[in-house]
Amino acid sequence: MLDPYKLRKDFQMFRNKTQMQEHDLVFLDNASTTFKPDCVVEAVDQYLLNETSNTHRGDYDLCYNADVKVENARKSISKFIGANENEIVFTSGTSMSINLIAYGYAGKYLTSEDEILITQAEHASNVLPWFKVHEITGCKIDYIPLDKDGRLSPVSVEKAITKNTKIIAVAQVTNVLGFVIDVKEICKIAHKHGVLVVCDGAQSVPHMNVNVKDLDVDFLSFSGHKVCGPTGIGVLYGKYELLEKMDPLMSGGGMNAKFDMCGDVKYLNPPSKFEAGTMNIEGIYGLKAAVEYVDKIGRNNIAEYETHLRKYMIKKMREVPNIIIYNENADAGIITFNVKGVFAQDLATYLNSKGIAIRSGQHCAKILITFLHEVATCRASIYFYTTKEDIDAFVDALKKGGDYLDAYFA
Ligand code: PLP
């Protein structure tokens, strides 16, 4: 089993108390973002301090160097998810990746006859872009029913597909309930009906082995900052033939082969076609370092550790009076809960006063509240550097909450 104590030594956020922290920080908001190990900071620094130049533009050594580094990063990232290098598009994150598919593919090819299937458990980034496609094309958006716990089964996917379904867009791991869905089986079913599968990998890629070729998924996106990388950098994977058919979301320098005064434009081949403008080069350097770091730990090891810690967390949390856990039977290191009679944000604010960072609210999954029948929930989420002591401090603070929160034992 991996050793979180050893791994924490790689993170400045764990080494020093910052001025903002009165207490040792217990960080349980890893579904929101993750800490960055030294190697990521050093990689970003390397670009900013020693290797600054633009890519794909210059005829001098600094530029050649950055070109090579960016393409090496693409290579590392393609290996990380089992893709071909030319199927990796650098984006600003999952949100941009899904928007790219929505506008560049669905907006172009779908009509008012067509239908896109999503679920009630999706993050806003995997709902709102499809609403836009509905606005543009008139296509229908429908919801595949979840089971009573909130899990999506391949059987309900098959039942929900109609002759009009063109796209199924689902998260491999949902960000509130934390169920891991069977993307491979869903792809098999979808492809049998000629339907494309768009997979939101924001909460899966950092935590478990994901191989796009094995899944046979058509598109998959993830964000750098949730996998120990910098913010503002992410990835869209798409099967090459689909990327070729897709329109770019943004036009500009670096993505065209030629254009003339009559408006005739020839785009470069994917992935360059989708990478208009100066890239987030330091972000790409950082993301390369991040995926290599996480790969070295091993995502099978991360998944094994998180499963073990999740069990411990559930067992400890059950000791808290009046606790409601919404996803006891889920798979990922995301636990969503409330304490009866306490507003979620009050609980998160109280925990903050004890140096414990969790998330409260609707977690960008605003249509899930009609499934949970709760206006707001609290979410504690772990990563490979979370320790049992973190969980103990969290549960201890929850147990003592009654001293501070009037409604606690209501
Ligand atoms: N999808 C899921 C499941 C997420 O959890 C998130 C972020 O929380 C996103 C998409 C959006 O990611 P980003 O804000 O990095 O674009």
- Side chain identity at 94, as an amino acid letter? T
Maximum distance among all alpha carbons in the chain? Answer: 73
Are 58 and 32 within 8 A, CB to CB? Answer: no
| Chain segment 254-291, per-residue pLDDT in tens | 999 999 999 999 999 999 999 999 999 999 999 999 99
Residues 154-166, mean pLDDT to the nearest whole number: 98
Ligand 1 in contact with 291 (CB < 6 A)? no
402 pLDDT tier (thresholds 50, 70, 90) = confident
For the Cβ of 98 lying below 6 angstroms from any atom of ligand 1, the answer is no
For the stretch 332-380, pLDDT in tens is 999 999 999 999 999 999 999 999 999 999 888 988 888 888 889 999 9
Question: Architecture of 4-30+298-408 per CATH?
Answer: Alpha-Beta Complex (3.90)
Dihedral of alpha carbons 295, 297, 301, 303, sign: negative
- Percent of the chain clearing pLDDT 70 (strictly above): 97
Percent of the chain scoring above 90 in pLDDT: 90
pLDDT at 406: 63
CATH architecture, domain 41-296: 3-Layer(aba) Sandwich (3.40)
The pLDDT of residue 17 is 66
What's the chain's average pLDDT?
Answer: 95
For residue range 9-36, list pLDDT tens digits in order.
999 999 876 555 556 789 999 999 999 9
Q: Is 175 in the pocket of ligand 1 (CB under 6 A)?
A: yes
pLDDT at 83 over 70: yes
Q: How far apart are CA 179 and CA 336, in angstroms?
A: 12
Domain parsing of the chain, residue ranges: 4-30+298-408, 41-296
pLDDT at 410: 45
| Rounded-to-10 torsion of CA 220, 100, 173, 399 | 150
pLDDT (mean) for 211-225: 98
Residue 62: per-residue pLDDT: 95
pTM, rounded to two decimals? 0.96
List Cα–Cα distances, 176 to 10, 132, 182, in angstroms. 28, 23, 17
Indicate the pairing of strand 140-143 with strand 88-91: unpaired
Cα dist from 51 to 43, 199, 285, 313, whole Å: 10, 35, 11, 44
Report whether residue 171 contacts ligand 1, using a CB cutoff of 6 Å: yes
Return the pLDDT at 372.
87
Ligand 1 center from residue 191 Cα (angstroms): 26
Instruction: Calculate mean pLDDT across residues 284-306.
Output: 98
The answer to whether the 4-30+298-408 and 41-296 domains have the same CATH topology is: no
- Which of 223, 226, 233, 280 gets mutated to test ligand 1 (max ligand atoms within 8 A of its CB)? 223
